[in-house]
Amino acid sequence: MFHNLSIMKGARTAVETCMNVKPEETVLIVTDTERVKIAEAFAYASASLDAKTVISIMKPMKQHREEPPKPIKEAMKASDVVLMPTKVAVPH
């Protein structure tokens, strides 16, 4: 439980302070199957600010900077804020 509380506090700081998410902004959280818990924490923090929050889950990429699937790229372009807790770096 304490570990989850730490994740929630970090997610809240990232969403409120670092990304300055505002109500009604569209927030996309792109994650892979190995980082879903972190994505859920970001989503909870974002939704609590009344942002339009979407999570997209994909299988982990094999290497850094591999292009995400086309639907995810399009969703990234259409979002105000994109958070990407993934195992490897995704180009943006």
Model confidence over 29-66: pLDDT tens digits?
999 999 999 999 999 999 999 999 999 999 998 888 78
Structure tokens at 8: 């929630």
Rounded alpha-carbon distances, angstroms, from residue 57 to 3, 39, 72: 22, 9, 9
Q: Would you say residue 72 has pLDDT above 80?
A: yes
pLDDT value of position 66: 81
Domain count for the chain: 1
50 inside domain? yes
17 falls within a domain: yes
In a domain, 91, yes or no: no
Q: Which pLDDT belongs to residue 92? A: 64
Instruction: Find the domain containing 37 and state its range.
Output: 2-83
Q: Is 73 within a domain?
A: yes
Q: Does any domain span residue 30? A: yes
Predicted confidence (pLDDT) at residue 2 exceeds the cutoff of 60: no
Q: Coil, strand or helix: which one is 28?
A: strand
**Model's pTM, two decimal places?**
0.88
